Amino acid sequence: MNPTFAIPLVLSMTSAFFMLQDEDIKKSKIFFSNNKRHLTSYFPKMRDHKSVQHRLFEIGKNKSEDLNHFRFNQIAITSASTSGTYIFLTLMGKTAPLTLLISLLAGFFGYFISDKSLTKQITKNRTMLESEFPAIVEMLTLCMAAGETPLGAMSRVAQRSTGLLSAEFALVISHVTSGVPFQFALDEMGRRIKSTHVRRFVDALITAMLRGAPLVDVLQSHARNAREAERNRVLSAAGKSEVSMMIPVVFLILPISILFALWPSLSNLNLFLS
């Protein structure tokens, strides 16, 4: 591509972007929204539609607009990576096959990065939720030991605490208020949260309520198990951190210390030899 053509193309794309952001230009807004609506109609036909939908559902984004927003951002990042790399390599004077190949690789990398960021967010949410789980279970046990019902105890914990698990409890309360049975709302929460500890807790709570078992004993047992599991997780993370912390010590601090220790001797030896 000739630079005299590529530079005006970049400037025109930039001006078009700012025109779409201008609220005074109504026609550009209508054109952009119509094209976006037409594009989002193809999102459910993509191959990994179900996988992305389940992952968004796990972090609380269960609306169709959330899926469309994620897909639109993913396609925008892919297109920007491809076109930006193509224009840059063309201005650098690279050959057409090499430019096309690297541009496609850049687009694939942008698509992969956006998908990887969603997976990273899910992993972070799971870690935060499992770290909150022991304290929330102990609060729930304390409320039920004081004489409250499971629904009342869960409502109190959702109102008095903050965090991901408290938000899930609040969602369960809203479902029960709208007419869903308490056991069904709990089971839906267990299926929504991809955590083994939460799933066991939900199953034990539902089983205890259906069979009339003492709920306080069940919750105390799960609280102890949750504390032990959290302790093992922290120890495992600390063990992995020890290895990563040894890298700057061995490759940065230790060589500098050895250099400071040997430098006077080396300088005196050089002075003696000279």
Beta strands in 68-204, from DSSP E residues, in sequence order: none
More confident position, 208 or 61: 208
Structural domain boundaries enclosing 200? 128-231
Average pLDDT of the residues in 191-196: 82
Q: What pTM was estimated for this model as a whole? A: 0.60
Query: Domain check: are 8 and 102 in the same one?
Result: yes
Query: Does residue 155 have a pLDDT over 70?
Result: yes
- What DSSP letter does each residue of 136-169 carry, written as one string? HHHHHHHHHHTT--HHHHHHHHHHH--SHHHHHH
Query: Does residue 122 have a pLDDT over 70?
Result: yes
Q: What is the model's pLDDT at position 260?
A: 84
Nearest alpha-carbon partner for 186 in 175, 197, 194: 175
pLDDT, one tens digit per residue, over 7-52 is: 545 555 555 555 445 444 444 444 445 555 544 555 455 555 566 6
Q: What is the model's pLDDT at position 7?
A: 52
Instruction: Answer yes or no: is 85 within a domain.
Output: yes
Q: How far is 107 from 270, CA to CA, in rounded Å?
A: 56
What is the total count of domains within the chain? 2
Q: How far is 40 from 33, CA to CA, in rounded Å?
A: 10
Please answer whether residues 198 and 131 qualify as being in contact, where contact means their C-beta atoms are separated by less than 8 angstroms: no
Query: Domain check: are 105 and 140 in the same one?
Result: no
Q: What is the model's pLDDT at position 266?
A: 79
Looking up residue 215, the CATH number of its domain turns out to be 1.20.81
